[in-house]
Amino acid sequence: MLTRTLLSLLGLVLMLAPVKLLAADYIVRSEDPQVLYRAKPELPSLQPYTRQAVLNKIGSRTPGSISTVRMVHLDPMNEFVGGDGRLAVWAARQRRNPHAIVLRSGYVTPQDIAAALGPEAIEETSPGVFVVRLPILVSRDATFHIDGQVKALRLSEDAGAFLVNDGRLFMTDTAVLGWRESAGTPARYRYEKGFRPFILSWGGTELYAANTRFESLGYDESKSYGFSISQYTPAQDKILQRSHPTGWIIDSEFEDMWFGFYCYEADDVVIARNTYTNSIVYGIDPHDRSNRLIIAENHVSGTRKKHGIIISREVNNSWLFSNVSTGNALSGMVLDRQSSGNVVADNEFIDNGSDGLTLYESPDNIIWGNKSVSNGSHGYRVRNSTNIKLYDNIAINNAYTGINGHAKVLPPGSRDLELDPYDDEFSMVIVGGRLVHNGGGPVAIEQPLSIEMAGVEMLAPTSETGFALDGVLGEYLHEVFDVMVRQKKAVVIELDNVRRKVEG
């Protein structure tokens, strides 16, 4: 047992770059392991989030009001008719001053729109299959329901159709897709700026999707990313003063989306039990100041350009658990730009092009019970993030280290420091888990404020360099062994701030 423990310790690689700091700036001490142990954080139940619960939210089904209106007269369409030439896109496709279908009040279905407006707006081309040829606006007092009687709602790419929700939008037991009428096929991705239909739900709204397939939506223009829930832009938000939007997206499929999901300043959104396949840029991408999200039991694979799942810029107090993120171009999951207070638990990150899990400039997060296997870089990477707690995580056969942590001054231009301030500091606690056969060794650490470790099983890297405890902390090899092997305690490696002050 002692020999195995020694081998595990020898597998630890704590490489502290000798920049500014001297070895004497660090101390090694022991700690009672029980001080580091804690109960697993409680995760929210997914039981309330069902198809029937979505249907129960619809409420009144009083028939609604439907008309067509020029897009320039509709405030929720301002984003798409502004000074960047987008109005000309719709004008060219409609061959007139662009109009939109407006659902003004009440409960409306695609069948209702077809009966009211005819094939110029929406046409039932075969039983249950509808082609939409104008943008649709769901007004504040309206509810739009695309239900199981609609086999497919095809938003025409050729005609410039898209769907904007300013009220309540429900999609259940159906399919919504971008449609290339000229080819009779889904509007498969061709290039970044090439228009494709999209779905957007604005501030103050509710959006619910259950047991629905979404395909070939979104492109590289503001708020047109595919499937989005977003507060209004700052200028409009000052005028409209709408609450943050919300919604549930459950038990659904997404394929060939620019972003499988995007949100901005959204609250209490539930994204659960979905599959995201072959997204272009991101599978799931909650953004700026979104709070209390549940992202759970999703399967994200084949994202072509970047990450499977990313939360970025103050996406706080959220739960990301039991997701599988595999075969994505970069990381399986990323926490970025001051996203804090989150729990990342029981996820699997497999065969991704970069890290399994990446944390950039995002302090105060709990990483618990995840598996990171055969990724192209590190199993878990932590940069410029303090108070990161890693418990019972597994990293196996990743190309570089199992766990990598470092402080780094970012190069000029890589961050807008007014929007995204940060401190080039990091600290972490590593308790339990297994780090096995990672190419660069089990753990690599550069310039920490502190690192605390207990009960981690660490086995051989796959490289031929063997085991080492190098860099500044190499002088403390005997102290570390003494604490973790002989004393069987937790080891704490931290800056000797008292000495630094005296010598400074």
Give the range with max mean pLDDT: 2-11, 264-273, 413-422, 474-483. Answer: 264-273
**Domains plus CATH for the chain?**
68-396 (2.160.20.10)
- Could you list the beta-strand ranges (E) of 290-442: 294-296, 299-301, 309-312, 319-321, 324-326, 333-336, 343-345, 348-350, 357-360, 365-368, 371-373, 380-383, 388-391, 394-396, 403-406, 427-431, 434-436
Confidence tier at 132 by pLDDT (50, 70, 90): very high
Residue 459's pLDDT is 80
Judged against a pLDDT cut of 60, whether residue 503 lies above it is answered with no
Span 369-390, mean pLDDT?
98
Residue 477's pLDDT is 63
- Of the residues 287, 307, 378, 406, only one is catalytic, namely 287
Confidence tier at 428 by pLDDT (50, 70, 90): very high
Tokens 């403390």 label which residue? 476
As a whole number of angstroms, the distance between CA 365 and CA 385 comes to: 9
Give the range with max mean pLDDT: 248-262, 396-410, 426-440. Answer: 248-262
With beta carbons less than 8 A apart as the criterion, state whether 162 and 198 touch: yes
Residue 20's pLDDT is 36
With beta carbons less than 8 A apart as the criterion, state whether 378 and 401 touch: yes
User: For 140-150, how does the pLDDT look when each residue is reduced to its tens digit (9 = 90+)?
Assistant: 999 999 999 99
Helix (H) or strand (E) holding 52: helix 51-56
As a whole number of angstroms, the distance between CA 345 and CA 497 comes to: 33
Confidence tier at 482 by pLDDT (50, 70, 90): confident
- Please, what is the Cα angle at 501 between 495 and 504, to 5 degrees? 110
* 406/57: higher pLDDT: 57
Residue 441's pLDDT is 83
Judged against a pLDDT cut of 90, whether residue 413 lies above it is answered with no
Judged against a pLDDT cut of 60, whether residue 126 lies above it is answered with yes
Judged against a pLDDT cut of 70, whether residue 13 lies above it is answered with no
Q: How far is residue 62 from each of residues 65, 107, 112, 141, 366, measured CA to CA in Å?
A: 10, 6, 12, 11, 47
Span 263-281, mean pLDDT?
98
Judged against a pLDDT cut of 50, whether residue 471 lies above it is answered with no
Confidence tier at 394 by pLDDT (50, 70, 90): very high
Q: Which amino acid is at 22?
A: L
Percent share of the chain, pLDDT over 90? 75
With beta carbons less than 8 A apart as the criterion, state whether 163 and 199 touch: yes
Residue 178's pLDDT is 98
Residue 135's Cβ-count burial label (10 Å; 0-12, 13-18, 19+) is: buried
Whose CA is closest to 176, among 215, 145, 203, 220? 215
Whose CA is closest to 465, among 16, 14, 11, 6? 11
Judged against a pLDDT cut of 50, whether residue 498 lies above it is answered with no
Confidence tier at 16 by pLDDT (50, 70, 90): very low
Residue 375's pLDDT is 98
User: For 311-365, how does the pLDDT look when each residue is reduced to its tens digit (9 = 90+)?
Assistant: 999 999 999 999 999 999 999 999 999 999 999 999 999 999 999 999 999 999 9
With beta carbons less than 8 A apart as the criterion, state whether 404 and 382 touch: yes
Judged against a pLDDT cut of 80, whether residue 497 lies above it is answered with no
Span 87-106, mean pLDDT?
93
- List CB contacts of 53: < 8 A, sequence separation 6 or more: none
**For the chain, what is the mean pLDDT?**
90
Judged against a pLDDT cut of 60, whether residue 395 lies above it is answered with yes
- Residue 287 appears among annotated catalytic residues: yes
Q: Is 83 helix (H, G, I), strand (E, B) or coil?
A: coil
Whose CA is closest to 479, among 15, 28, 7, 11? 28
Residue 467's pLDDT is 40
DSSP 8-state assignment for residue 291: B
Confidence tier at 83 by pLDDT (50, 70, 90): low
Span 264-281, mean pLDDT?
98
Residue 213's Cβ-count burial label (10 Å; 0-12, 13-18, 19+) is: middle
Judged against a pLDDT cut of 70, whether residue 18 lies above it is answered with no
Which of 269-278, 323-332, 459-468 has the least mean pLDDT? 459-468
Residue 501's pLDDT is 40
Span 275-286, mean pLDDT?
98
Q: How far is residue 339 from each of residues 60, 241, 285, 366, 424, measured CA to CA in Å?
A: 38, 25, 13, 12, 16
- List CB contacts of 341: < 8 A, sequence separation 6 or more: 316, 317, 318, 364, 365
Confidence tier at 289 by pLDDT (50, 70, 90): very high
DSSP-assigned states of every residue in 456-479: -EE---SSTT-----GGGGGGHHH
User: For 226-239, how does the pLDDT look when each residue is reduced to its tens digit (9 = 90+)?
Assistant: 999 999 988 888 88
User: For 139-187, how does the pLDDT look when each residue is reduced to its tens digit (9 = 90+)?
Assistant: 999 999 999 999 999 999 999 999 999 999 999 999 999 999 999 999 9
Residue 121's pLDDT is 96
Confidence tier at 32 by pLDDT (50, 70, 90): very high
